């Protein structure tokens, strides 16, 4: 609920368990941040520091600069005396950079504002309430609208900003943070997700020192390396207790997520488009919309934060018709064949796959132009008939005749130097005038700031998808951006390229979904470099990582599931020795690890052992049995291999607490070791449950939820490394 206390000029935003409050102070109308945390009865205005000696605000502006340098400002300006990093910075026509906003008015609405051209959360089956806080800077001729939308039941508040140029000259935005939050530093620690190709989203926790600490990307995409997530966690915050603030950014390009600890031990958290390689002109009468950021707070540990994020993404970001439908179990030929395939090979795979109960064949990279390796043909989105002999339609029809759906791989944002597209349009790629751009994976990036380039690519994509019964697309992006320059933009607007690029990707995917409304889209970027809330608005699933090794995946999926629902994590069973790390793990463990994801196969089913092939129908049966529970339930982490280096365990509990599934992987066997005692989570303390171990009936128990959560459950020591079990728990 959002209330405005007129007398005290204070806004109070209450979700089920949290309160966020803002006050307007002084005659000049400073908008100050008062409180964010556990739900409280009052707005806590008395805690707002407006009279700290010797620096106080005053109507005659005396000492304003030192006041601003410590005041918890709701939307901090720039170059006006607040020396912490602001939420906005500008350059006016005279080169002036000062900007500072004051209160103008507000609106409270139950209509969720949408952000034109950007992913926007939506009410879905729930109800939202939004505060629009209106601010102005008369000197700069700018107004700001700050949006705060409450998803009250799941303790989520989203924020975004629109900047309106009300003056008569253009203004350049050089920094715009969607979220700016000042709070006491206390002894919170910083939690972030970092990584690299094939080992994305590892969890890192560190103390917060004085000054600015940030993570970000200036690579043109969210990146493998750092992630648009920040957690502020109380010391020893655990899964089921302790305080945590979680922040996430719904954007797929350059981002900055920062905490700044200042001289008075307060923190400023900011999250937005990375100011590096960013500026954007706002013409008189125009708006700039900043992407949405998400905040949640829990004093019940990390699990509650995770569950709030999962519910938010599942119900208020993912729009696909596949949102609540089981995704077809697919087999992808990438690790099976790489570029070495043709119609016959694909049909051999499809035939064998059909026998095992697999439901879709996905033809990966290498079917177009004359692409037989990664040197050529991106941009030539027409089928290579010497490989796909008989043509695409023929292949798809044959696959359909076997009872399988058909999916295809595309990389629409890229162009190879060796391609017909490049020969015809060498100027279609991103490059700085007069410089040769650096290739990466032998490819260049299409200059999507140019509408004719977007049309050129999209028209080809549409033609391919219209030519046969294609029901799934894997949209890949295999390099990051550099040599940022566009011949479309004049010298004064080159800084707009990175953001325009992201907007164009969104526009293309929006067009794709409106032209093919039943398409199942899976985003991908060299594995998991663009796994973010922005892409989830377009695709209900994203390829999580190129690393398909079951053990590496435990860590990648743990970090990913800290924020994103498992129903969105592309996860496949692949062949061994694993192509990335050379590890050999049991087929059944690979299956169990992929089960808490979208589930599929990435191997040559005609070549794997008879024993492994025979296990596939059983794995698929399990996928169908548990998928609805896995994709809609609440996620609990019980043990973390990335921390303890020996074993991993997590469970998913249905919303009604009638059933749950627990995955346990013993990564390393140990000699002379007792069974592990695992305390389960999320069950109904009063319900009685049957606990059934897969392939280990002797371990089955019948017990109440409170017993399983407090006394725990014994999981027997297993023989060998990489052993695992799946435990199904249901009320009786």
Give 3-state DSSP helix, strand, coil % of the chain, rounded to 5.
25, 35, 45
Helices 550-561, 587-595: axis angle to 10 degrees equals: 10
> Phi/psi at 131 (nearest 5 deg)?
-95, 125
Structure tokens at 452: 């004719």
Query: Do 167 and 152 touch, CB atoms closer than 8 A?
Result: no
Element (H, E) at 451: helix 451-466
Of the candidate residues 359, 471, 476, 496, the single one contacting ligand DGJ (CB under 6 A): 476
Among 190, 295, 505, 524, binds ligand DGJ (CB under 6 A): 524
Residue 524 beta carbon to ligand DGJ: minimum distance, rounded to whole angstroms: 5
If binding means CB under 6 A, how many residues of this protein chain bind ligand DGJ?
A: 11
Give the shortest CB-41-to-ligand DGJ separation in angstroms: 51
Q: Distance of alpha carbon 665 from its chain centroid, rounded?
A: 26
| SS3 assignment for 688-703 | EEEEEECCCHHHCEEE
Is 273 exposed, middle or buried (CB count within 10 Å of its CB: 0-12, 13-18, 19+)?
buried
Q: Taking contact as CB under 6 A, which single stretch among the options 445-453, 524-532, 667-675, 708-716 is the one that binds ligand DGJ?
A: 524-532
The phi and psi torsions of 544 (rounded to 5 degrees) equal -80, -35
Closest to ligand DGJ by CB, 64 or 530? 530
Output 332 or 663, the one with its CB closest to ligand DGJ. Answer: 332
Give pairs for 485-489: CB < 8 Å, separation 24+: 485/430, 485/431, 485/432, 485/433, 485/435, 486/430, 486/447, 486/449, 486/450, 487/427, 487/433, 487/447, 488/447, 488/449, 488/450, 489/449
How many residues does this entry show for the chain?
732
Please say whether the beta carbons of 71 and 58 come within 8 A.
Answer: no
**C-beta closer to ligand DGJ: residue 270 or 443:** 443
Site for ligand DGJ in 359-388 (CB under 6 A): 364-365
Please identify, using beta-carbon distances, which residue of 57 and 570 lies nearer to ligand DGJ: 570
Q: With respect to ligand DGJ, which residue has the nearer C-beta, 369 or 705?
A: 369
Site for ligand DGJ in 125-144 (CB under 6 A): none
Which two three-digit tokens encode residue 297? Answer: 């707070």
Q: Which residues within the stretch 306-365 sit at the binding site for ligand DGJ (CB under 6 A)?
A: 334, 364-365
Find the part of the chain contacting ligand DGJ (CB under 6 A) among 251-259, 521-529, 531-539, 615-623. Answer: 521-529
- Closest distance to ligand DGJ from the beta carbon of 475 (Å): 10
Residue closer to ligand DGJ (CB basis): 101 or 341: 341
Site for ligand DGJ in 201-240 (CB under 6 A): none
Site for ligand DGJ in 535-564 (CB under 6 A): 543, 546
Residue 460 Cβ, how far from ligand DGJ at the closest point, in Å?
18
Nearer Cβ to ligand DGJ (306/598):
598
Beta strands at 330-332 and 600-602: parallel, antiparallel or unpaired: parallel
Distance CA 269, CA 181 (A): 5
Q: Pick the binder of ligand DGJ from 36, 245, 297, 409 (CB under 6 A).
A: 409
Residue 192 Cβ vs ligand DGJ, minimum distance, rounded to whole Å = 23
Residue tagged 């905040």 (tokens): 295
Q: How far apart are CA 690 and CA 702, in angstroms?
A: 5
Nearer to ligand DGJ, 523 or 663 (CB): 523
On whether the CB atoms of residues 31 and 135 are closer than 8 A, the answer is: yes
Instruction: Report in angstroms the alpha-carbon separations of 329 from 16, 291, 724.
Output: 38, 33, 22
User: What is the closest distance, in whole angstroms, from the C-beta atom of residue 522 to ligand DGJ in the complex?
Assistant: 10
Give CA separation, 486 vs 241, 422, 427, 448, 498, in Å. Answer: 50, 16, 9, 9, 10
> Is the CB of 243 or the CB of 546 nearer to ligand DGJ?
546
Q: Is 201 left (phi over 0), alpha (psi -120 to 50) or beta?
A: left
Residue in 19, 274, 478, 585 binding ligand DGJ, rule: CB under 6 A? 478
Among 527, 533, 534, 705, binds ligand DGJ (CB under 6 A): 527
Element (H, E) at 410: strand 405-410
Q: Give the binding range for ligand DGJ (CB under 6 A) out of 321-329, 352-360, 377-385, 522-530.
A: 522-530
Taking the C-alpha atoms of residue 641 and residue 221, their distance in angstroms, rounded to an integer, is 29
CB 30 within 8 A of CB 24: yes
CB of 477 to ligand DGJ, least distance (A): 9
Characterize the bridge pairing of strands 405-410 and 360-363: parallel
CB of 335 to ligand DGJ, least distance (A): 8
Q: Is 23 helix (H, G, I), strand (E, B) or coil?
A: strand
Q: Which residues contact 172 (CB under 8 A, 6 or more apart)?
A: 90, 91, 92, 279, 280, 281, 282
Both tokens of 476, joined, read 């890949």
Query: Shortest distance, CB of residue 411 to ligand DGJ, whole angstroms?
Result: 7
Q: Which of 526, 534, 597, 600 binds ligand DGJ (CB under 6 A)?
A: 526
> Quick one: which segment of 51-59, 126-134, 520-528, 611-619 binds ligand DGJ (CB under 6 A)?
520-528
Q: Among residues 4 and 338, whose Cβ is nearest to ligand DGJ?
A: 338
Active site amino acids? 476, 546
* 118 vs 470 by CB, closer to ligand DGJ: 470
Query: Given CA atoms 94, 95, 100, 104 in this order, what sign does their dihedral have?
Result: positive
Instruction: Output the smallest distance, CB 259 to ligand DGJ, in A.
Output: 32
Closest-by-Cβ residue to ligand DGJ is 365
Q: Residue 15 or residue 525: which is nearer to ligand DGJ going by CB?
A: 525
CB 247, min distance to ligand DGJ, A: 27
- Min dist CB 546 to ligand DGJ, Å, is 5
3-class DSSP state of 401: helix
Question: Which two tokens mark 574?
Answer: 């692949």
Q: Is there binding between residue 119 and ligand DGJ (CB under 6 A)?
A: no
Q: Are 147 and 99 in contact (CB under 8 A)?
A: no
Q: Which residues bind ligand DGJ (CB under 6 A)?
A: 334, 364-365, 409, 476, 478, 524, 526-527, 543, 546
């Amino acid at each position: 609920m959002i209330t405005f206390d007129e007398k005290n000029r204070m806004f109070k935003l209450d979700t089920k368990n949290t309160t966020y409050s803002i006050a307007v102070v002084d005659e000049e109308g400073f908008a100050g941040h008062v409180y964010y945390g556990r739900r409280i009865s009052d707005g806590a205005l008395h805690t707002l520091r407006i009279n700290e000696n010797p620096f106080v605000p005053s109507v005659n502006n005396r000492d304003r600069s030192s006041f601003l340098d410590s005041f918890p400002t709701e939307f901090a300006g720039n170059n006006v005396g607040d020396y912490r990093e602001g939420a906005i910075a500008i350059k006016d026509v005279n080169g002036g950079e000062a900007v500072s906003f004051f209160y103008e008015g507000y609106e409270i609405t139950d209509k969720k504002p949408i952000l034109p051209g950007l992913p926007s959360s939506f009410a879905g089956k729930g109800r939202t309430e939004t505060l629009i806080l209106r601010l102005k800077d008369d000197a700069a001729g700018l107004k700001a609208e700050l949006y705060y939308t409450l998803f009250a039941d799941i303790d989520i508040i989203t924020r975004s900003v629109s900047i309106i140029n009300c003056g008569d000259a253009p203004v350049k935005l050089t920094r715009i943070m969607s979220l700016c939050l000042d709070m006491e530093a206390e002894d919170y620690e910083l939690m972030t997700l970092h990584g690299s190709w094939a080992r994305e989203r590892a969890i890192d926790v560190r103390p917060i020192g004085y000054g600015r600490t940030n993570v970000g990307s200036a690579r043109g995409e969210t990146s493998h390396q750092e992630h648009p997530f920040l957690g502020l966690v109380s010391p020893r915050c655990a899964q089921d207790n302790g305080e945590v603030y979680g922040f996430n950014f719904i954007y797929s390009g350059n981002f900055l997520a920062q905490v700044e600890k200042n001289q008075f031990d307060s923190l400023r958290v900011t999250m937005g488009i990375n100011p590096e390689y960013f500026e954007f002109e706002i013409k008189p009468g125009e708006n700039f919309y900043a992407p949405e950021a998400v905040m949640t707070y829990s004093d019940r540990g990390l699990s509650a934060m995770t569950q709030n994020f999962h519910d938010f993404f599942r119900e208020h970001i993912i729009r696909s018709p596949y949102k609540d439908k089981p995704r077809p179990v697919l087999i992808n030929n990438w690790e099976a064949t790489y570029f070495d395939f043709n119609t016959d090979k694909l049909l051999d795979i499809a035939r064998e796959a059909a026998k095992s109960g697999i439901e879709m064949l996905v033809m990966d990279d290498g079917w177009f132009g004359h692409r037989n390796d990664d040197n050529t043909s991106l941009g030539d989105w027409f089928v290579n008939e010497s490989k796909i002999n008989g043509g695409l339609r023929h292949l798809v029809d044959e696959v359909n005749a076997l009872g399988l759906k058909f999916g295809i791989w595309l990389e629409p944002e890229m162009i190879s130097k060796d391609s017909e597209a490049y020969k015809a349009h060498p100027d279609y790629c991103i490059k700085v005038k007069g410089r040769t751009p650096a290739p990466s994976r032998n490819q260049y990036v299409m200059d999507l700031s140019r509408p004719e380039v977007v049309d050129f690519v999209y028209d080809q994509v549409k033609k391919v998808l219209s030519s046969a019964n294609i029901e799934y697309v894997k949209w890949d992006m295999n390099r990051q951006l550099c040599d940022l320059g566009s011949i479309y933009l004049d010298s004064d607007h080159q800084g707009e390229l990175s953001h325009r690029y992201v907007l164009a990707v969104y526009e293309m995917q929006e067009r794709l979904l409106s032209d093919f409304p039943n398409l199942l889209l899976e985003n991908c970027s060299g594995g998991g470099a663009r796994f973010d809330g922005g892409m989830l608005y377009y695709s209900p699933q994203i390829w999580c990582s190129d690393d398909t090794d079951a053990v590496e995946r435990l860590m990648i999926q743990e970090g990913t599931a800290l924020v994103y629902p498992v129903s969105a994590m592309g996860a496949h069973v692949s062949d061994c020795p694993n192509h990335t790390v050379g590890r050999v793990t049991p087929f059944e463990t690979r299956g169990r690890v992929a089960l808490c994801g979208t589930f599929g196969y990435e191997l040559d089913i005609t070549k794997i052992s008879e024993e492994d092939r025979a296990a596939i129908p059983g794995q698929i049966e399990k996928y169908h049995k548990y998928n609805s529970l896995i994709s809609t339930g609440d996620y609990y982490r019980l043990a973390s291999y990335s921390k303890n280096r020996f074993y991993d365990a997590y469970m998913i509990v249905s919303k009604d607490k009638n059933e749950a599934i627990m995955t346990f992987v013993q990564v390393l066997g140990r000699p002379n070791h007792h069974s592990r005692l695992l305390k389960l989570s999320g069950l109904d303390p009063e319900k009685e449950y049957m606990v059934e171990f897969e392939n280990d009936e002797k371990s089955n128990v019948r017990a109440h939820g409170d017993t399983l959560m407090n006394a725990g459950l014994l999981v027997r020591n297993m023989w060998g490394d990489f052993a695992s079990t799946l435990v199904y728990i249901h009320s009786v």
